[in-house]
Amino acid sequence: MTTEIEGRELTQVGPGTVMGELMRQYWIPAALSSELLPGAAPVRLMLLGEKLIAFRDSAGRIGVMDHRCPHRCASLFLGRNEEGGIRCIYHGWKFDIAGNCVDMPSVPPYQDFKHKVKAKAYQAVERAGLVWVYMGPHARVPQLPGLEILDMPEEEIRVSLIQRDCNYLQALEGEIDTSHFGFLHAGHVDPDDISDDEPLRHTVTIRAPEYHVVDTAWGTQYGAYRAAGADLIYWRFANFLFPFWTQAPNGEFGSHVHARAWVPLDDSHTMFCYLWWKRGVSSMTLPQPVLRDGTPIGGAGRGNKFLPNTTEWLGRWRLAANASNDWGIDRAAQHSNAIYSGIDGIHLQDQAITESMGPITDHKFEHLAPSDQMITRTRRRLLMAARALRDRDVLPPGVGDPEVFRGARSGYFVSDDQSTWQEIYAKRLATSLRPPPPPPSTAG
């Protein structure tokens, strides 16, 4: 079980918190590159409980900084994005993307002390259509994580952002909670109604999977297994990767190159950031699954309807279905079992469930089951790493050795291999499609 203290340490992400400091050791995907246009208005960006602004200067470089002007704390969100920097509209001080004060026009020249003033700026880089921000110590800026999706050609990577109104941990745990699939997403699906070659068939034939779980160099991993006919096993591998990434088994293992981040905006809001390879075989690239007779499986839609983005701190990439409208739950569809949950859309079902737990799950109220061992182990792995950093300055996984992430792959396959589960994983990975060798890093 998770104690109250552990729960607090796991879920709080602001400056000076145990988990917040762990997360500040890594590059964080924070916005789409396309959200920041040269010379355009700054964007309000909440990240790890800090109110920041992001802008692209006239030279195309990204600036990310505390929204408060270091003079008298007016918000630089209101600032003018001018040639080579942002100018505060209160007294006209101007800052470049590194936070240097480059103009102090409200002070007579002989009293000018601009070389002594700095806005609190964070480093930013762009990769895979995303702006990545580093909020940790200047003395040890790491490389970008060695996720295999980042090795793919940029034009073959797809990205999407969706905000979720709850703590990052419960959102992330929804992804590594394998036993929910046969209920929340597919409780209404009769295995006899789907064709033999549809992978979903295995999931709904045995709804209480058994699985192995282990600590890995990049975080944690599970391998869920189900009998799939004579001497055959249907495997589903999935990963947690430090500090907030997951890889779900929603694609064919051999080509399922992807990564999913659960970026804490603050303690009760999370940005889901999904990168996937457009040539991989996965739920993002396959058509919606159908029954044997060709009709689509109810509730398994893939589209998401968004509210218009606003300039508010938490106004980006919100879904139209949310707690205020009960996520659009259709009680008739639930009652008739057309859709087990009554909620239409795989992502929305996960979103509704994790948001329904409240802003931060009360861990004292839980009763974790043997089927939750991946969740238990992942919490422990996160806590131990965060405490080791706090108490002994031990770098957490992947910070000094970002290549460990390249060993993580998720997905499903059927196998007759009788080796151990970790040998089966290693063999499959060795014969899978891998990205080309990584290009030289642009960060760190």
Kindly state the number of chain residues that form the binding site for ligand FES, as judged by CB under 6 A.
Answer: 8
Determine, following the binding rule CB under 6 A, whether residue 93 of this chain makes contact with ligand FES: yes
List, as one string, the DSSP characters of 248-299.
Answer: -S-BBGGG--EEEEEEEEETTEEEEEEEEETTS-BTTTSPPPB-TTSPBPTT
Helix, strand, coil fractions of the chain, as percent rounded to 5: 30, 25, 45
Determine, following the binding rule CB under 6 A, whether residue 69 of this chain makes contact with ligand FES: yes
Determine, following the binding rule CB under 6 A, whether residue 183 of this chain makes contact with ligand FES: no
Shortest Å distance, C-beta 38 to Fe ion: 39
List, as one string, the DSSP characters of 380-418.
Answer: HHHHHHHHHHHHH-PPPTTTS-GGGGGG---EEEEE---
Shortest Å distance, C-beta 103 to ligand FES: 10
- Where do we find the tokens 């499959």? 428
Determine, following the binding rule CB under 6 A, whether residue 88 of this chain makes contact with ligand FES: yes
- Where do we find the tokens 């709080």? 12
Chain positions contacting Fe ion, by CB under 5 A: 350
69 binds, among ligand FES, Fe ion, none (CB under 5 to 8 A by kind): ligand FES
- Closer residue to Fe ion (CB): 350 or 355: 350
Separation CA 70–CA 107 (nearest Å): 15
Instruction: Give the x-and-dash track for 374-413 against ligand FES (CB under 6 A).
Output: ----------------------------------------
Separation CA 443–CA 327 (nearest Å): 39
Shortest Å distance, C-beta 71 to ligand FES: 3
What is residue 332's DSSP assignment?
Answer: H
Shortest Å distance, C-beta 42 to ligand FES: 14
- Closer residue to Fe ion (CB): 50 or 350: 350
Do residues 276 and 258 make contact, with C-beta atoms less than 8 angstroms apart? yes
Shortest Å distance, C-beta 74 to ligand FES: 4
Determine, following the binding rule CB under 6 A, whether residue 72 of this chain makes contact with ligand FES: yes
Do residues 428 and 414 make contact, with C-beta atoms less than 8 angstroms apart? no
- Closer residue to Fe ion (CB): 17 or 220: 220
SS3 labels along 150-200: HHCCHHHEEEEEEEECCCHHHHHHHHCCHHHHHHHHCCCCCHHHCCCCCCH
- Closer residue to Fe ion (CB): 9 or 350: 350
- Closer residue to ligand FES (CB): 52 or 339: 52
Segment near ligand FES (CB under 6 A), from 84-92, 212-220, 251-259, 356-364? 84-92
Determine, following the binding rule CB under 6 A, whether residue 90 of this chain makes contact with ligand FES: yes
- Report how far Cα 307 is from the mean position of its chain's Cα atoms: 20
Do residues 273 and 152 make contact, with C-beta atoms less than 8 angstroms apart? no
387 binds, among Fe ion, ligand FES, none (CB under 5 to 8 A by kind): none
With CA atoms as reference, report the closest residue to 410 among 211, 256, 218, 203.
Answer: 256
Determine, following the binding rule CB under 6 A, whether residue 77 of this chain makes contact with ligand FES: no
- Closer residue to Fe ion (CB): 47 or 172: 172
Q: Is the dihedral of CA 159, 162, 167, 171 positive or negative?
A: negative
Segment near ligand FES (CB under 6 A), from 66-74, 288-296, 363-371, 401-409? 66-74
71 binds, among Fe ion, ligand FES, none (CB under 5 to 8 A by kind): ligand FES
- Closer residue to ligand FES (CB): 75 or 285: 75
Segment near ligand FES (CB under 6 A), from 89-97, 130-138, 146-154, 410-418? 89-97
350 binds, among Fe ion, ligand FES, none (CB under 5 to 8 A by kind): Fe ion
Shortest Å distance, C-beta 256 to Fe ion: 16
Determine, following the binding rule CB under 6 A, whether residue 51 of this chain makes contact with ligand FES: no
Kind and range of the H or E run holding 108? none
Tell me whether residue 144 is exposed, middle or buried, using C-beta atoms within 10 angstroms of its C-beta: 0 to 12, 13 to 18, 19 or more: buried
List, as one string, the DSSP characters of 131-146.
Answer: EEEE-S-GGG--PPP-
Determine, following the binding rule CB under 6 A, whether residue 71 of this chain makes contact with ligand FES: yes
HSE of 401, CA atoms in CB hemisphere, 13 A = 10
54 binds, among ligand FES, Fe ion, none (CB under 5 to 8 A by kind): none
Given the rule CB under 6 A, which residues bind ligand FES?
69, 71-72, 74, 88, 90-91, 93
